[in-house]
Amino acid sequence: MSQNTDSPLVEALFKVGAHFGFSRSRRHATMKSLVYGSKNKTDILDLTKTAPILETALTFVRGLGAHGKTVLFVGGKPEMKQLVKETAEALGMPYVAGRWLGGTLTNFNEIKRRIKHMQELIGERDTGASAKKYTKKERVLFDREINRLEENFLGLNSMERLPDALVIVDTRAESIAVSEAATLGIPVVGIMNSDCDFSAVQYPIVGNDASKEAVSFFLAQVVEGYREGTKGRVLPTEEATVAVKG
């Protein structure tokens, strides 16, 4: 790699294997400048170039934290689902840790309707109201419906409006989420490997998105960055004061 290989961030990225890309045949054209070389036909990412890109994304995340913005975490790959869920919960944020349903953003009113229906069914079950209203067989069917709804919408339960930004694990796998965010002008922080379109999102994080260790590192950086931002959080009254002074 070219220079600044003694950077603490570069060393940390190297340690978690963030430099491993996919095979050269899978490389997206927009990633060419970020590939240091190939070993055994596998692309090796240039961490001295990807580290500053990561820092730019984290600067944006700190800004989100400073203004108390809502971030939707997305990642449906089986090996990443629990990690995405835990990361979102660490910040009290919504998540989609599973299959992305088309229209989650672009048809959000319908999604909110389904979430409300889920909440009503859960409420009836937990208060015992359903036991008084329905037969045992009907309650079994309702429980099945609740399970299906929870699988799709539980992570969105607290999201009352569209998010201010998305954090996506593997932008290629979650291309529909990327597309919906673009349609609505919602910025995306996208963790992506050499097979992804670097130009598809505003704040790419380039690295090994197939490695749980590397993705865990990236998400931990996002959590830390958001929390750092909240320490200097700008309250609405402060924003108004600044605007008046300006």
Q: What is the mean pLDDT of residues 141-148?
A: 89
E-strand spans in the chain?
Answer: 20-23, 35-39, 42-45, 71-74, 95-96, 165-169, 188-192, 203-206
Confidence of residue 235 (pLDDT cuts 50, 70, 90): low
CA–CA separation, 1 and 56 (whole Å): 20
pLDDT of the residue at 162: 98
The pLDDT confidence band at residue 139, using thresholds 50, 70 and 90, is confident
- Distance separating alpha carbons of residues 238 and 241, to the nearest angstrom: 5
- Rounded average pLDDT over 118-138: 83
Residues 19-46 have a mean pLDDT of 96
pLDDT score for 237: 45
Mean pLDDT of the 3-30 span: 90
The percent of residues in the chain predicted with pLDDT above 90, rounded, is 80
Token pair of 128 as six digits: 């015992």
pLDDT at 6 exceeding the cut of 90? no
**What average pLDDT score do residues 17-32 get?**
96
pLDDT band at residue 225 under the 50/70/90 scheme:
very high
* Confidence grade of residue 234 (pLDDT, cut at 50, 70, 90): low
Q: Are strands 188-192 and 203-206 parallel, antiparallel or unpaired?
A: parallel
Torsion angle of the four alpha carbons 100, 174, 52, 165, in this order, in degrees rounded to the nearest 10 = -30
Residues 209, 205: Cα–Cα separation, whole Å: 9
pLDDT digits (tens, 9 = 90+) for 166-207: 999 999 999 999 999 999 999 999 999 999 999 999 999 999
Question: What pTM does this model have?
Answer: 0.89
**What confidence score (pLDDT) does residue 5 get?**
60
Q: What pLDDT, on a 0 to 100 scale, did the predictor assign at position 103?
A: 97
The whole-number average pLDDT for the span 241-246 is 38
The H or E element containing residue 129 is helix 129-133
Q: How far is CA 76 from the centre of its chain?
A: 10
* Under 8 Å between Cβ of 206 and 31: yes
What is the reported pLDDT for 245? 36
Mean pLDDT, rounded, of the chain: 91
Tokens 């996002």 appear where?
222
pLDDT tens for residues 34-48? 999 999 999 999 999
The answer to whether 222 and 61 are in contact (CB under 8 A) is: yes
